[in-house]
Amino acid sequence: MMKENLLHFLQSTGLVCHQTALEVAHHFIDRKISRNEFFLQEGKVSDEYLFLEEGCLRAFAYDTNGSEVTTGFYTDKQVVFEVSSFFNKLPSKENIKALTDCEGWSIAFAELNHLFHAIPEFREFGRSILVKGFASLKDRMLTMITESAEERYVHLLRTRPELFQHAQLKYIASYLGVTDSSLSRIRKEYSKK
């Protein structure tokens, strides 16, 4: 597996030059995750930062009734890690599990942190990625408040259609904050439009 997509990702913000991207990419190692394998389990400290080359992972936590609630999906060309556990070195409250066989490039916290301190332009890149992640999380939180279930479904269908190929509908329903039967009804009504 070649690192072209990782290099493209490292240069995507315009903050990292090609030579620096090559230097940083050299520290990432090949990582495979089998379908149904955990990338991270609740109670463990996240120490791995993954650039997902291909595949699909699902993040979830358990609510107070012990039911799984999907908190996120990761697909091709996305970064996978549990930010709070990774940076604060606290046990994760979230699980991240492969829905398909996955391949990517991985780096441990200590090595990533060393690179952030050693390469100022890479540190700025990291900050930029965190800001985008925070903005995305804020947008998701607001859509859960300001949009109807159907609007959330349509938005997900348009922006992340690949999820419907890899994720079970019960996981998508949970992610959208609706029951399985509500999602079925929404899908049925939307298909008539």
Mean pLDDT computed over 112-119: 96
Q: Does residue 61 have a pLDDT over 70?
A: yes
pLDDT of residue 143: 95
- Who's near 46: CB < 8 A, 6+ residues apart? 40, 81, 82, 85, 86, 92, 109
Under 8 Å between Cβ of 134 and 84:
no
Give pTM, 2 decimals.
0.93
SS3 45: strand
Q: Would you place residue 1 in the very low, low, confident or very high pLDDT band (cuts 50, 70, 90)?
A: low
Q: Which fold has domain 4-119?
A: Jelly Rolls (2.60.120)
Q: Does residue 188 have a pLDDT over 70?
A: yes
Q: How far is CA 21 from the centre of its chain?
A: 21
pLDDT of residue 52: 97
Q: Would you place residue 23 in the very low, low, confident or very high pLDDT band (cuts 50, 70, 90)?
A: very high
Q: pLDDT for 134-177, tens place per residue?
A: 999 999 999 999 999 999 999 999 999 999 999 999 999 999 99
Q: Which amino acid is it at 167? A: A
pLDDT of residue 14: 94
Q: Would you place residue 34 in the very low, low, confident or very high pLDDT band (cuts 50, 70, 90)?
A: very high
Give the mean pLDDT of the chain. 96
Give the domain ranges of the chain. Answer: 4-119
Mean pLDDT computed over 71-88: 96
Per-residue b/e over 70-109, b at no fewer than 16 CB within 10 Å? Answer: bbbbbbeeebbbbeebbeeeeebebbbbbbbebebbbbeb
Q: Does residue 3 have a pLDDT over 70?
A: yes
Q: Would you place residue 192 in the very low, low, confident or very high pLDDT band (cuts 50, 70, 90)?
A: confident
